Amino acid sequence: MPNVPFVDLAAQYAAIGQEVLTAITAVLEDRTFILGPHVNAFEKNFAAFCGAEHCVGVGNGTDALYIALKSLGFGPGDEALVPANTFIATAEAVGLCGGRPVFVDVEEAGFHMNLDDARAKITDRTRVIIPVHLYGQPMDLDAVDCLAKEFELKIVQDCAQTHGATIGGKSLVSFGDVCCYSFFPGKNLGAYGDAGAIVTNNETLAKRCRMFANHGRQGKYDHEFEGTNSRMDGLQGAVLDVKLKYLKKWTELRQANARVYDDLLAGIPSITTPAVLPGRDHVYHLYVIRCANRDGLQTFLKERGVATGVHYPIALPNLTAYAHLGHAAKDFPVARRLAGEILSLPMYPELLRQDIEYVAAQVRNFLKQV
Ligand SMILES: *Cc1c(COP(=O)(O)O)cnc(C)c1O
């Protein structure tokens, strides 16, 4: 029986292992374990890749959001608009600042925050909107920008799943205040451990984020305010700088794989393949289909050697972590329905056409037998 993993980091390592080992050895030899020249080089190259002026390497993607929010002055009593369907880190960063995540239902089409619902939930405490470009597809940033201007909100983008994506041919950082990235190993650009980055065109904000991530200092003991310790490791900077050179190629392979899935799954009545919205460049961190009998399909695929995921099985407002906000599942009807239907199929650059054909054939077999 074929075995199709959900992601295959071994295949990637096989292709670039020698280059990565050389980069790691350089860090061991110059012992620049925290920040330093390898991180600086990566920051410069990632900023250029994003079409941005500044990049600040930090410890992980959650901290990137937290540090960006803090550095924009977001704090206790403030509210931030957060989509109901995302990874918990988006909302956690708000809580870490002492603020309150205000959950917003999502849209069917792209799984993004519904801006009509967002508008309805704006209060005089709302300071920030956090668009999450879920699964690798940017949300409509022109519309976010309009809403943010009308209510004087800061825009903090969660780009953890969207490395290199564009909208209307424009880079994401050309919208809003700041973009936050995660380099968790399984992301489109993944480190060999935790890492993250803050990307912005605002020099003052970049400087403040850099200081906040390093105990509120610029030099050694000249602390100007209390910050935190969230610096990128030299080893991660070195690994990421090697991998960054391949990211464009890897993204093209993901997109080509998505086209193969699209073709092979087209026209199956009980399956919805992911829509690409107008002007959007989808980088397919995940390839997420919808199926009414999702749990049945997931089990069927597992029994046939196909690993899948659900991103995410419980809408954030319905998690125990947010029970104190007193939400009911019916408050987020779209997020709730999607949570029961979404299934992430195997997706990575090295995925073979024959594997996609096998996965698609099993999806058809499942639907034939029910
Ligand atoms: C991965 C992820 C994060 C958090 O990143 P970490 O590096 O794991 O802290 C935040 N938001 C979204 C949408 C993510 O997918």
Secondary structure of 26-92 as H, E, C letters: HHHHHCCCECCHHHHHHHHHHHHHHCCCEEEEECCHHHHHHHHHHHCCCCCCCEEEEECCCCCHHHH
- The number of the ligand 1 atom at minimal distance from the alpha carbon of 63 is 9
Q: In this model, does residue 370 exceed pLDDT 80?
A: no
pLDDT in tens, 17-45: 999 999 999 999 999 999 999 999 999 99
Partnered with residue 55 across adjacent β-strands are: 199
Instruction: Work out the pLDDT band at 1, boundaries 50, 70, 90.
Output: confident
pTM, two decimals, is 0.97
How far is it, in rounded angstroms, from Cα 335 to Cα 108?
A: 8
| Ligand 1 proximal residues by C-beta, below 6 Å | 60-62, 86-87, 89-90, 132, 158, 160-161, 182, 184, 194, 196
Mean pLDDT of 228-233: 98
Distance CA 284, CA 247 (A): 13
Q: List, for residues 49-104, the tens digit of each pLDDT value.
A: 999 999 999 999 999 999 999 999 999 999 999 999 999 999 999 999 999 999 99
Which atom of ligand 1 is closest in space to residue 183's alpha carbon? 7
- pLDDT for residue 244: 98
Which residue lies with its CA nearest to atom 14 of ligand 1?
A: 160
**Residue-level pLDDT at 329:** 84
| Percent with pLDDT over 90 in the chain | 97
Yes or no: say if 346 and 359 are a contact pair by the CB < 8 Å rule.
yes
Tokens 């295949």 map to which residue? 11
Q: What are phi and psi of 272, to 5 degrees?
A: -110, 120
Does the pLDDT value for residue 269 go beyond 90? no
- In which band, very low, low, confident or very high, does the pLDDT at 193 lie, cut at 50, 70 and 90? very high
For residues 274-280, give the mean pLDDT. Answer: 95
CA of 184 to the centre of ligand 1 (A): 7
- Both tokens of 12, joined, read 């990637």
